[in-house]
A = this chain, B = another copy of it.
Amino acid sequence: MLKTNQNSVEQQIEIADRAIMEKDYDMLMSIYTDDAVLVVEPGRNARGKEQLRNAFVKISEFFNNGLRVEQNGLEVLESDDTALVLANTVVSGPDFPAVTRKATYVFKKSEDGVWLCTIDNSYGHEIIGNAIA
């Protein structure tokens, strides 16, 4: 049973980043809406928690199970129950030098007042010209 939390969007992102690094996919999925979209790579999206969970497992494997994620600068713009996050997301892993992505995330406040990620696009503008038809 999830307790209602009153975390800020920033705190939800910290929880998600930690969950990714600890491979705690139940915790990670609790930060997303049921119909959330994740840009797995430009041109390839996952939709819904089952696809998202599978994608995160594969991404972790790709990074030799040592994926590290941190935010090097982040701003949140809130409008009512919607929030847009602009972030410099730094991704690295064993034998993977750090890469900074101009990430864009959209959060939505649930009826219980919990901020949940509904669009996760760590590639930002890189998806232009690469989107799924």
User: Chain A: residues with CB nearer than 8 A to chain B?
Assistant: 33, 35-37, 39, 45, 47, 73-80, 82, 84, 86-88, 102, 104, 106, 108, 118-119, 121, 124-125, 127-131
Contact = CB atoms under 8 A, between A and B. Distances in A.
B86 A104 contact: yes
Task: Give this chain's copy count.
Answer: 2
A77 B105 CA distance: 11
A73 B128 contact: yes
A120 to B, nearest CB: 9
A29 to B, nearest CB: 15
B124 A102 contact: yes
A33 B78 CA distance: 13
B121 A37 contact: no
Closest 10 CB pairs of A and B: A75-B131, A73-B128, A79-B118, A84-B119, A37-B79, A35-B80, A86-B125, A102-B125, A84-B106, A75-B128
Nearest to A128: B73
B121 A79 contact: no
A77 B125 contact: no
Contacts of A102: 102, 124-125
Contacts of A80: 33, 35, 118
A84 B104 contact: yes
